[in-house]
Structures are given as C-alpha cells and as structure tokens.
Amino acid sequence: MEQKYDVVSLGESLIDFAESGVTGQGNPLYEACPGGAPLNVMAMLDRLGHKTAYISKVGDDAFGTLLMDTLKDMGTDTGNMMVDAKVHTTLSFLHTLPDGDRAFSFYRHPGADIMLTEEEVDYERIRNAKVFHIGTLSMTDEPVRTATKKSLSAAKEAGCLISFDPNLREGLWASLAEAKAQMDYVFPYCDLLKIADNEIQFVSGKKDYDEGIRYLQEKYHIPLIFLTLGKDGSRAYTEEYRVTCPGFSVNSIEATGAGDCFCGCMIHQVLQKGGKGLTEADLKEMLFFGNAAAALVTTKKGAARAMPTENEIFALLKEHKERVT
C-alpha cells in the first residue's frame, strides 16, 4: 500500500486560554491558543515538512472554526475533522503557578472532541500513514474511546509505527485507576513512547525513573522510549542504550506545548533515521534536537502556532555548539 501520509493522529482539539496580563481594571486577560496535545505534535511535524492528517471533532462555533483554520494554515489534512452541531468545542484555561508549573481548568463535559464516533473515523486514512500517533485524552470518555481503540487496531494491522504520549491530565478522568488502565491498554501497541517524569512514576509506581522505564520495557517490550525531564532535559532508552541530554537555558514564558514539540521532533527523527539500530550517537543527536525545539516553544504563548522552524532549532544548537559535540 502506498503511504500517503508521514503521520496521522487522532486526538483532542481544544482552545488553551493562556494568561496574557491584566486590564486597567485588574481583570485577567487570556489569549485563545489553538491546541490539544496530538494536534500540537502535528503542528511540529508540519513545521518540519511532513505530510500529516488529524482526526478529531470540533463544535460548530467560533472556536471550532479557529481550530479548523489553524490546522489548514499548518498544512495538516482536515478531511476527517468532524463538526458537531450540538456540542461546543472543548476549552482549557491555563494558570501559571508560582513555581512556573501549570494548572488546567477544562470545560469538556462534554466537549465536541469526546463525541467522535467509530463510524466517523476514516480508517483508510490511518492505514495510509507511516506513523499513527495518539495520547490518552481521546480515551477518557465514550464514544471517542471506542473510536480511538478501533483506530489503534487498524493502524497496527496495517503495519504503522505506533507513537504514544500518555499526557496525563488528572482532572479529565473519572479516576486515576481508569487513567492507568487506558494507558496500560495502549502500551502493548507502542513502538515509540514519549513519557514525562511524573507519568513514568504514575504508571510504574516507582520513584526512580530508570526503574520505571525498565518496568515498561520488561512488561511491554517497548523498543524506543523518550523521557522528558522539564528544564533538566530528556533521556532516551533502547534495549542497548540509556542516553541523557541536558535542557537549554532560554527566556521562558510558559511551558505549554514543550512536551508535544519534543514528541514531534522524536517522530521526525525516527522517520529520518528509522526506529531500529539507533546508535548512542543517534540518540544523543535526537535528544539535543528535541530539547532545543522544546526550549524555543517556551519562549512564546500557546503551542500549535508557537512551534519553531528547523532553522530556528539549528540556530539554537549552533549557539550552544560546545554542548552538543
């Protein structure tokens, strides 16, 4: 089968409202930023020249129009983006905490992305991809949970490489036990896993990151795992290697989309280098590229429209050449 797309993804579509100062009366201002973790990953891949398609559902409202227009501007195929006439587009308000971390307030009970059904998914579109990427926020509720699982099976049967980012958002789950159960459902399908430091502790029950990764490797035999460590950088794990690379110091505004950007960069590198037989040097190069890109995202508001170009990434790498050689 001819592969029409580099990457196809199914996931949530939402508007992140990022804090953007205050009015003269002291009222907070928010910037409406198109997002959704898998959508952000597609934005990064589009920036890097890949052919992508996104599968989701938005509301028949101004925010749904903003998301559709953003995807089209990025170059993502929107042929399987559905519109719900009854349910509004999902919204998320971001609050920056004193330590620089973020808290999320979601308006999604329901949100249009939850309403995607298995009958609305174009499975041929998925089968025509080299990589199929998902998170778990399309598995919090029905009917989109069933649509996600059926899509995952179709991708695996077609021989797609499966990329997975758990992207734990505790407030969107009925229980943390349910969140873990859905993550455990996806892990056996996974060829490439991007997971954050708090998430590896959550899924493995182990405080030590290396022990947590080893738990996933032994239980699910995931061949390629990337662990993000915030400002401290990232690690890559294969059966043969464990590689760590530090982060980059930049004038950060907020961290939204940094992990998604990094994930997109890892998929990009795997599409270039292949997912097997990666050397220690390959892994180091991949991590530095992803760390640089993720750092650049934190210098802007939002995520999907904040993804850096390849030239911007290489410029930052060149600026820190002594660290990456």
pLDDT tens digits, 93-105: 987 766 556 678 8
pTM value is 0.94
Whether 207 shows a pLDDT value over 80: the answer reads yes
Coil, helix or strand for 225? strand
Q: What is the pLDDT of residue 253?
A: 78
Specify the long-range contacts of residues 182-185, CB closer than 8 Å, at least 24 apart. 182/136, 182/139, 182/140, 182/145, 183/136, 185/139, 185/149
Q: What's the pLDDT score for residue 249?
A: 85
Contact between 31 and 256 under an 8 Å Cβ cutoff? The reply is no
CA atoms within 13 A on the CB side of 7: 34
pLDDT over threshold 80, residue 321: no
β 224-228/192-196 pair status: parallel
Confidence band for 276, pLDDT divided at 50, 70 and 90: confident
pLDDT of residue 95: 78
CB 2 within 8 A of CB 30: no
pLDDT at site 108? 94
pLDDT of residue 90: 97
